[in-house]
Amino acid sequence: MSNRAFITGVSGLELTGAERDFIRAVRPWGFILFKRNVDTPAQVARLVGELRATVGEADAPVLIDQEGGRVQRLGPPLWPAYPPGAVFGSLYDRDPALGLKAARLSNRLIAADLAELGITVDCLPLADVPVAGADNVIGNRAYGTEPAKVADIARAVTEGLQQGGVLPVLKHIPGHGRATADSHFRLPTVDTPRAELERTDFAAFIPLNDLPMAMTAHVVFSALDPAQPATTSATIIEQVIRGRIGFQGLLMSDDVSMNALAGSIAERTRAIVAAGCDMVLHCNGKLDEMREVASQTPELSGKALQRAVKALASRKPPVPFDRKAARVELDALVEQAGVA
């Protein structure tokens, strides 16, 4: 039996009976965890195991947003705090090798935390290039404001995750850095000319187009498609994400339940699939919405299935490292950066 082309959240620290029945019946491709799903390491590991056992897939991908800074689903006191992306950028400005080293170390350590819990996918790196006046939803999560620097640090972030046996998800393609609104709450529109988008926003993603997975931006680019955000725009997905940027991996939507998207959950899901996303992401754990998403997503097949299989196959066993020494080295580098 095939999996359906969606990734789902769940409501709490363990599965409800209704969630188990739903997962067994519709077989989502993967799962994503949030703070509402996190209590202790033992509890998270149990939940991850329960998700995989219920769907009947020992290697079903389990995702999380564990960036560092203000986006950490696993945090103190049971998990370490990690620096935001801006710290790597600050170090890079002083010495590129230091910035890249810190990015690699931080994410190798994050990968070790995740691997202990059975979490196999982290929604990183960001290749968003912020501009003055943009909404702070990206803010200090970004690695910098120069595309080449952003791509360089994003590659080091990716290497750290992959060395720890965790798959990366490139986000938010083709760029969220110019958005003047938080797409969790309303739809941002970017009116920048295409030539400037290509020079800046898209340029940060092009060197990363070999990554196994990417997540779309709920952002309208009026120069490309004045009617639809990238997530539901066949024009942007075909011409920019697959075309100009050249990304050929598994393409997932950002969260279908975010307020940037219009219409019912079912209508949004149909639009995401029709536009060319391989996978629909639904995060809030509301079972009625999960059922709507499942009802409108196809079984994985064709190119989407090939990309999904290839993405999972790209995960390698962790490379041994000295965890304690890596943390000491990272802390010393962060102190040098002098960025909160």
Give the residue numbers annotated as catalytic, written as ranges.
184, 254
**Look-up of token digits 């620097």:** 149
260/304 Cα distance (integer angstroms): 25
Contact 91, 333 (CB under 8 A): yes
Backbone conformation region of residue 84, classed left if phi is above 0, alpha if psi is from -120 to 50, else beta: beta
Q: Which residues of 104-143 are buried (b: 16+ CB within 10 A; e: fewer)?
A: bbbbbbbbbbbeebebbbbbbbbbbbbbeebbebbebbbb
